[in-house]
């Protein structure tokens, strides 16, 4: 519990120009990352690419001219955005205790995600670094090896599916507009379109990731639990899968565009 005397300096830090600027950079590089993932997904659907996930995207960026410098910008941006989310976690205030804790868990989860992305980008930014290979399978194998490991993995699957559902609902209901100062005119209409498409596409991908975790728990086979790349490849196996994967790839690009808009117009 954050005391009233501690809230003022925390709010001042969250609203400081360096932290705000860093958070906006974080949103921008998050948009770039999702745009590249979307491009990789479309390439996979067309049979000309592979690894449509954050590791594949970071690897692709690292191989471009100036990619090393860009990766360091991503490290700083994601770290700053994670810091801002962490401050927001401590500043959540609601008269209803249950809603207050739900808000803190949600904001804290975002902080963990952005700080994890900063670490991932750092691994590629450092010469000779890498993403860690099959870290999802390794994590799943360790989890299944623990007491009640199957139950824990099922809970994780439910959590990921729940987050995916949250993204879909937020997109369909256009709740993402609460996070930004919506532009007027045609720019505002375009923001709504890319926001809806992006949130729904990302939500679908997360639901599939959660389902794969669930399959791994039921079969106690960590090989069945893979990340975003396998989830998108699983979509390609569906009827009309190529079209579905292309649509999801376009959705990820749309989400990336929305993140860039949010970088400028976010309510911080």
What digits encode the pLDDT tens for the residues 164-220? 999 999 999 999 999 999 988 999 999 999 999 999 999 999 999 889 888 888 877
Final residue before a domain boundary, out of 87, 108, 133: 133
Contact between 49 and 130 (Cβ < 8 Å): no
Final residue before a domain boundary, out of 83, 103, 133: 133
Domain identity same for 17 and 119: yes
**Which two tokens mark 13?**
């830090």
Domain identity same for 170 and 108: no
Using 50, 70 and 90 to split pLDDT, how confident is the model at 135? low
Dihedral, CA of residue 97, residue 99, residue 103 and residue 106, to nearest 10? 120
Quick one: what percent of the chain has pLDDT higher than 90?
A: 47
Structural domain count of the chain: 2
Of 104-118, 178-192, 230-244, the least confident:
230-244
Note the pTM of the prediction, 2 decimals: 0.86
Final residue before a domain boundary, out of 79, 109, 133: 133
- What pLDDT was estimated at residue 250? 96
Query: Which domain range does residue 38 map to?
Result: 1-133
Domain identity same for 164 and 237: yes
Enumerate residues 6+ apart whose C-beta is below 8 A from 139: none
Domain identity same for 69 and 190: no
Domain identity same for 124 and 175: no
pLDDT mean over 10-28: 86
Domain identity same for 99 and 144: no
Query: In 3D, which of 88, 89, 256, 260 has the Cα closest to residue 180?
Result: 260
Task: Please report the DSSP string for 147-204 in residue order.
Answer: TTHHHHHHHHHHHHHHHHHHHHHHHHTTGGGGGB-PPPHHHHHHHHHHHHHHHHHHHH
């Amino acid at each position: 519990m954050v005391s009233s005397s501690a809230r003022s300096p925390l709010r001042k830090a969250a609203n400081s120009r360096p932290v705000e600027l860093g958070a906006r950079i974080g949103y921008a590089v998050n948009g770039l990352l999702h745009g590249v993932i979307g491009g990789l997904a479309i390439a996979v659907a067309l049979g000309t690419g592979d690894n449509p996930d954050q590791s594949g995207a970071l690897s692709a960026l690292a191989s471009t001219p100036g990619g090393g410098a860009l990766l360091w910008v991503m490290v700083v941006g994601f770290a700053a955005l994670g810091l801002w989310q962490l401050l927001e976690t401590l500043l959540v205030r609601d008269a209803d205790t249950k809603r207050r804790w739900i808000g803190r868990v949600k904001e804290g989860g975002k902080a963990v995600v952005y700080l994890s992305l900063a670490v991932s980008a750092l691994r590629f930014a450092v010469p000779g670094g890498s993403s860690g290979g099959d870290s999802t399978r390794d994590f799943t194998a360790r989890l299944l090896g623990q007491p009640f490991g199957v139950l824990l993995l099922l809970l994780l699957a439910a959590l990921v599916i729940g987050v995916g559902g949250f993204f879909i609902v937020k997109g369909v209901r256009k709740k993402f507009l609460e996070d930004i100062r919506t532009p007027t005119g045609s720019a505002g209409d375009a923001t709504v379109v890319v926001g809806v498409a992006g949130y729904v596409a990302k939500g679908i991908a997360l639901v599939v990731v959660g389902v794969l975790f669930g399959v791994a728990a039921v079969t106690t086979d960590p090989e069945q639990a893979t990340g975003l790349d396998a989830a998108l490849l699983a979509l390609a196996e569906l009827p009309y899968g190529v079209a579905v994967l292309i649509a999801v790839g376009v959705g990820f690009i749309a989400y990336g565009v929305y993140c860039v808009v949010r970088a400028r117009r976010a309510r911080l």
